[in-house]
Amino acid sequence: MNVFEDFIKSIVDSSLKLGIKILDSIFGFIVIYIIYKIVCKVLKSVLNKKIFNSRIDKGRLHTIQTLVLSIVKYSFITILVLILIQNFVGAVGVTLTSIIGVALGFASQNILKDLFNGVFITFENQFTFGDYITINKGSNEFKGIVDSIQVRVTKLRDFNGDYHIIPNGSINQITNHSRKDSRILIDIQVGLSQKSKAVSENINYVLNNYSHDDITVKPYIYGIISTDQVAITYRVVGYAKPLSHWNIENELRKLIMDRLLSENIILPTQRYSIMKN
């Protein structure tokens, strides 16, 4: 009977100890979560102050904020894991944590590489949130708008809607298309029989009457760049603020084509010969 009572008592004691550890862990998780939220709120408040907004552009500010919050998140996750190990392993916790730390040290070289590369990308201002970039990862090339820069990964969204998540440590080369003015480039083809003076006058009419707030160098006729059996190709060039050139090109192309058609400037047509036996 005493054996049975001792067995029941040991089960009850073990259950109570386990329950205390679980409650202690839950309480620790709640406390850490609250501290984490407070720290994030304070950091966001500090980074959003006017002193930062006046000195750092919005894209770079968003990038720094994302990176800092990502570091804070991983730091609190690490603290939580260590607390759980200490609660459930007890006195062996420090030794076990050391062993796990050594194992992770060997296994996490890529993670550390991602982390340090992410920090360098941010503080060297290689690219920021909203930039249009090309990333070379090994033999692969990814183009898109930067959606997020985190401690370990950079996220791009391309113009097909695909979402690319690229480890920072595997980025070999970066081409940033958003730091300097974008070139406006429009090729206009007309028929071989059209006089160059009439074509140039009509294109210039459109260019002189077109305005856009994002234009930095007013578009002009660069010249005739090619001729073939059916067409003469005129090129219009100019410069605009980063990433605004696509919209300007579309608008100008439409206006120029409408103008040429209204002035009876013949556009090129492909001719086919049909041979009958």
Residue 123 or residue 10, greater confidence: 123
| Nearest-angstrom CA–CA distance, 248 and 22 | 62
Long-range contact pairs involving 17-20 (C-beta distance under 8 Å, separation at least 24): none
> What is the identity of the amino acid at 94?
V
Distance CA 59, CA 190 (A): 42
Is residue 144 predicted with pLDDT exceeding 80?
A: yes
SS3 per-residue string spanning 217-268: EEEEEEEEEEECCCEEEEEEEEEECCCCHHHHHHHHHHHHHHHHHHCCCCCC
Q: Which helix (H) or strand (E) holds 71?
A: helix 58-89
Instruction: Determine the length of the chain.
Output: 277
On the question of pLDDT at 239 being above 90, the answer is yes
Q: Is there a domain that residue 39 lies in?
A: yes
Asked whether residue 88 is assigned to any structural domain, the reply reads yes
Q: Do the domain assignments include residue 268?
A: no
The answer to the question of residue 276 being in a domain is: no
What pLDDT is stored for residue 50 in this prediction?
Answer: 54
pLDDT in tens, 205-227: 999 999 999 999 999 999 999 98
Helix 58-89 to helix 109-123 angle, to the nearest 10 degrees? 150
- Residue 67 predicted with pLDDT over 90: no
Same domain, 219 and 137: no
Of 108, 32, 38, nearest to 75 (Cα)?
Answer: 32
> What CA–CA distance (Å, rounded) separates 126 from 148?
13
Rg of the chain over Cα atoms, rounded to whole angstroms, equals 32
Q: What is the CATH number of the domain that holds 129?
A: 2.30.30.60
Do 160 and 244 sit in the same domain of this protein?
no
Same domain, 26 and 93: yes
Strand-pair category, 173-176 with 153-157: unpaired
Residue 108, pLDDT score: 59
CB-based contact 180:132 (threshold 8 Å): no
Q: What's at 222, amino acid-wise?
A: Y
- The letter for the amino acid at 180 is K
Cβ–Cβ under 8 Å, residues 232 and 189: yes
Give residue-wise pLDDT tens across range 148-206: 888 788 899 988 889 999 888 888 888 888 888 889 999 999 988 888 999 999 999 99
Q: Please report which confidence band the pLDDT of residue 91 belongs to, taking 50, 70 and 90 as the band edges.
A: very low
Q: Say whether pLDDT at 7 is over 60.
A: no
Residue 76: predicted pLDDT:
77
Contact 134, 146 (CB under 8 A): no
Residue 4 pLDDT class (50, 70, 90 cuts): low
Residues 13 and 84 both lie in one domain? yes
Q: How far apart are the first and last CA of the chain?
A: 114
In a domain, 144, yes or no: yes
Confidence band for 114, pLDDT divided at 50, 70 and 90: confident
Per the structure, the complete domain to which residue 222 belongs is given by 182-262
Q: To the nearest whole number, what is the mean pLDDT of the chain?
A: 79
CA dist 143 and 132 (Å) reads 7
- Any idea what the CATH number is for the domain that residue 238 is in? 3.30.70.100
- Specify the pLDDT at position 106: 53
pTM over 0.75: no
Q: Give me the mean pLDDT over the 128-149 stretch.
A: 86
Residue 276 has pLDDT above 80, yes or no: no
* pLDDT band for position 228 (cuts 50, 70, 90): confident
| Total domains present in the chain | 3
pLDDT for res 2: 60
